[in-house]
Structures are given as structure tokens and as C-alpha cells.
Amino acid sequence: MGPGKHVSDRRCLRSQRSRVAVAVLVFVATLAIILPPAILVSLRKDNYSMGPKAKVFVPLYVYPTPGAWDPLLNVISAHPDVNFTVVVNPGSGPGPSPLPDGNYTKEVPKLAAHDNVRLLGYVATTYAKRNISLVRKEIETYAAWSTISGDPNLAVRGIFFDETPQQYDAGDLVYLEELTSIVRRTPGLGPDNFVFHNPGAIPDSRYLSTADSTVVFEATYDTFQERDGAKLFEGIPDSDRSQLCAVIHSVPESVGGSELRGLVRQARRIADEIFITHLSTDYYASFSGKWKEFVRMMAQ
């Protein structure tokens, strides 16, 4: 047991220590190189698995008693990177007066003030059979809201034409083209001058190009499943998801969490505008219990 041995022991310990230190360094360096891409890959996989981003479409057929629109205003503020297309409908159209009632004139500007909201005014067309002068008058009523009220935020940026035809008819196409050109040239509907159609189902594809977006599915969750949602729109010639909107209602309460995620993902793959609700009656008259969860999934 001389000092020499002692020294060699110490040396041995020192070299062992440095070997451990090198091993730790190598391990940490390896982690530093491998981990960030691994994290990125898993994030990317997560994003990818939700499909392309889509806008939340909201048929807001809810009367704006004070607070009634708060569930919508709250998610709009909470998710500034989600875009919302919101249809307002004061009276199956703009209503009989130049301006809607005081609750509307107070609440509409709150929605319009958000950059991630595109407001549209509801107008019925009764399958292209409604007197087009009356339709034009309603479009002009919405367009005049901000000038008449003096409030730049009491305004819509386009029109949601409800009950547009499905079957092709040359006269109906001319009718819809005329409405589109009215919306496009009306300054009070800027800057978007957006045209939305709702035939409620896949229309003749010749109608699609007259609108910026078209509701090609408006039915229950069960129908979406039966018709194999993911393949639903394969049959529409010359269209792509950027032109399409899907409205799925009557989703069973039991469909939440990963099952709801699956539905949202499937819808995002086929349509750029989506509304999903668990309500099975008056689907557009209030917000379902899973409304916030749905919007969170749209944000992912």
C-alpha cells in the first residue's frame, strides 16, 4: 500500500471520471441533435394528422339578446389564427327596415371588429324562383348598413344565398350569375364581396364557379357516416376543397375526444369551411356543449 498505488488509483479514478464525462457529453450532444428534429417531426405529424386548416362556418341564427353571442365572441378572441365565416340573419334576411333592431346594431359590430371574422348577410333565393328584384333589394339593404348607421363595423362582407338550386337549369344559372355580379360590384359588401351558396347538397357542378364557397353537405352525423364522408365529394367534377363547405349536425353526445377529432380531421380534408354541432334540433339557434372543443380542434 505505497503512495504510488495511491496515485495510480487516483489516476484511474480521474480517467474513469473523464470517461464518464465524455460519455455524458456525447449523450447530451446526441440528444441535442436528435431531439429537436424528433419534436418537430412529432409536431408535424400531429398537424398533418389534423389535415389542412379550415375555417369555422357559423350559421348564426341566434337572436342577439345581450350575451347570446358571447360563446362565439369568446372563441373568436381565444383563437385569433382561426378564421370564422359568420352568417347573420336578422329576419329571414336583413328584415323590413333599413337597419336591424338595436340588439343587432350593438352586437354585429363586435363581431365585425375582429380580423379573423368574415360576416355574411343571409338572403333566401327559394331555389332561384324568388323575385330577383326582392333579392337585390335585400342585398342592397345589407350593403347600406354602415352608411346609414355611420358605423363602419355595422357591415357584412358578402352574402349567403340560402336555398340555391341543385339541378341544372340555364335560367337558374343566369339568375345566380346576376346575383353574383350584384355582390361583386356593391361597395358596401367590400372588401371581400364574398358569395356563398347553400343548395344543402352537391349541386350541378356548373353552379360552383358562380360562388366563392358552396355548402355541399348539410345533414346529420349518421348520414355523413353512411355516405362515407371522406369520399363524399369525389364525384364533384372540377372542384376542390377550397370551394366547399360541410355542415354536420346531430352529432351524438357520445362523440367527443379522439372520435370528434377524427370527424373534424375527416371534414377538414374535404372542405375549407366547416360547422359541426351536437345539437339535433334548432342546430343553428344556439351553441352545443362541445362548441369550444370543436373550435379547439379547428385550431390545431
Ligand X SMILES: *[C@@H]1O[C@H](CO)[C@@H](O)[C@H](O)[C@H]1NC(C)=O
Candidates 42-50, 131-139, 156-164, 236-244: pick the segment binding ligand X (CB under 6 A): 131-139
Q: Which is nearer to ligand X, 42 or 47 (CB)?
A: 47
**Residue whose entry in the numeric block shows the C-alpha cell 373550435:** 295
Q: Which is nearer to ligand X, 53 or 206 (CB)?
A: 53
Which three cell numbers, joined as nine digits, stand for 236? Answer: 364533384
175 to 194, contacts with ligand X by CB under 6 A?
Answer: none
86 to 105, contacts with ligand X by CB under 6 A?
Answer: 101-103
Nearest approach, Cβ of residue 134 and ligand X (Å):
6
The Cα–Cα gap between 141 and 159 comes to 11
Nearest approach, Cβ of residue 64 and ligand X (Å):
8
The Cα–Cα gap between 284 and 214 comes to 18
In the shown chain, the binding pattern of residues 192 to 231 toward ligand X, with x for contact by CB under 6 A and - for none, equals: ----------------------------------------
Cβ–Cβ under 8 Å, residues 129 and 79? no
3-state helix, strand, coil in the chain (%, to 5): 50, 15, 35
Report which residue's Cβ sits closest to ligand X.
102
Amino acid at 70: D
The Cα–Cα gap between 50 and 79 comes to 16
Nearest by Cα to 198 from 226, 224, 218, 177 = 218
Nearest approach, Cβ of residue 52 and ligand X (Å):
8
Classify 179 as helix, strand or coil. helix
Nearest approach, Cβ of residue 24 and ligand X (Å):
44
Amino acid at 79: H
Q: Which is nearer to ligand X, 133 or 281 (CB)?
A: 133
45 to 74, contacts with ligand X by CB under 6 A?
Answer: 53, 55, 65
Nearest approach, Cβ of residue 63 and ligand X (Å):
7
User: What is the four-CA torsion angle of 166, 226, 195, 292, rounded to 10 degrees?
Assistant: 160
Residues 6+ apart with CB under 8 A from 225: none
Among 62, 69, 75, 83, binds ligand X (CB under 6 A): 83
Q: How many residues bind ligand X (CB under 6 A)?
A: 10
131 binds ligand X (CB under 6 A): yes
Positions that interact with ligand X (CB under 6 A): 53, 55, 65, 83, 101-103, 131, 133-134
